[in-house]
Amino acid sequence: MKKRIGLLVMAYGTPYKESDIEAYYTDIRHGKKPSTEEIEDLKARYEFIGGLSPLARITNNQANALCEALNETYSDVEFKLYIGLKHIHPFIEDAVQSMHEDGITEAVTVVLAPHYSSFSVGSYDTRAEQEADKYGITLTHVQHYYHQPQFIQYWSEKINETLSQIPQEEHDDTVLVVSAHSLPKGLIERNNDPYPTELHETAQLLEQNTHIKHVAEGWQSEGNTGTPWLGPDVQYLTKSLYEQHGYKHFIYTPVGFVCEHLEVLYDNDYECKVVCDEIGANYYRPVMPNTDPLFIGAIVEEIKSVY
């Protein structure tokens, strides 16, 4: 008889329909309603990427693929999947409540984000813990998986494949931009948060495992809070790398994200591409991990190390 436990997969969440956008954005702003102009701006970005984001669909596919892989890997445990989102239903709390209703007393949690920050993964975990405490459910958290060999292998293969499209003699004129979502700088520094170090280690591992000659680290998708965020921003970085080195090819790997969604399809594929077009350089962005077996395998390995 297998032991039955919960698998709580947590992710950012995205509007399911246009009329969800305002409430979703208000939730991101901790309940403070954005201005009409900000809402219109966000709507325009969603429209630009085709109406809405593919994030909801891909999150479901990733969670199902992970649960299936875990059930194949563990002979003595049966994982039952629950999806809990940060900014839209089913919220993290809804998922924990469903576990309780199903009689689950133990669960493994994982956030669909590879690097740990107390402001990203840590805040998901805290919300899950607070709800689980009400029902006496024990949670084991995966904190990060950026260092897992299969995660690095996924991105390394994609980078080498992209490099193979660029003439060999121009590899010295090619740079890899490794990025994650920016966060407010003050918060990160005051809390000695591991987030910037984890991105740096990811960039180093990619440099060691690929044929790329030049690697730069950047931050993207920063919010508009009037305070400094982690930088350099990828757009600014693109311009300054071009001014300093005259690179002809820019390969963007937004490794802080795990699938195609607004922040990749707009902030990379539109905004960074605009800068590349301006400076006359070529823009490349390999396909995101989505449900690639190497990506799913990386999370399975990390779960095996904690549970």
Applying CB under 6 A, does 141 fall inside the site for ligand FEC? no
Question: Could you tell me the smallest distance in angstroms from the CB atom of residue 261 to ligand FEC?
Answer: 3
- Closest CB to ligand FEC among residues 248, 261: 261
Distance CA 195, CA 141 (A): 17
Longest dimension (CA), the chain: 64
Enumerate the H helices of 137-193 as residue ranges. Answer: 149-163, 185-190
Question: 119 to 138, contacts with ligand FEC by CB under 6 A?
Answer: 120
According to CB under 6 A, which one of 223, 228, 246, 293 is a site residue for ligand FEC? 223
Residue from 7, 9, 53, 107 binding ligand FEC (CB under 6 A) = 53
Binding residues among 281-300 for ligand FEC as defined by CB under 6 A: none
DSSP bridge pairs for 106: 138
SS3 233: strand
Please name every residue paired with 200 in a beta bridge, in sequence order, or none if there are none: none
The answer to whether 29 is a known ligand-binding residue is: yes
Contacts with ligand FEC in 25-44 (CB under 6 A)? 25, 28-29, 42
Residue 92: what are its φ and ψ, rounded to 5°? Answer: -55, -45
For the purposes of burial, counting CB atoms within 10 Å of the CB of 100, is it exposed (0-12), middle (13-18) or buried (19 or more)?
middle
Distances in whole angstroms, Cα of residue 122 to Cα of each of 110, 130, 218, 306: 11, 12, 22, 16
With CB under 6 A as the contact rule, the residue among 125, 193, 198, 263 that binds ligand FEC is 263
Q: List the one residue from 5, 9, 14, 79 that touches ligand FEC (CB under 6 A).
A: 14
Residue that the structure tokens 């730069």 belong to: 216
Residues that bind ligand FEC in the complex, under the rule CB under 6 A: 12, 14, 25, 28-29, 42, 53, 55, 113, 120, 181, 183, 223, 225, 257, 261-263
Q: Which residues are annotated as a binding site for Fe(2+)?
A: 181, 263
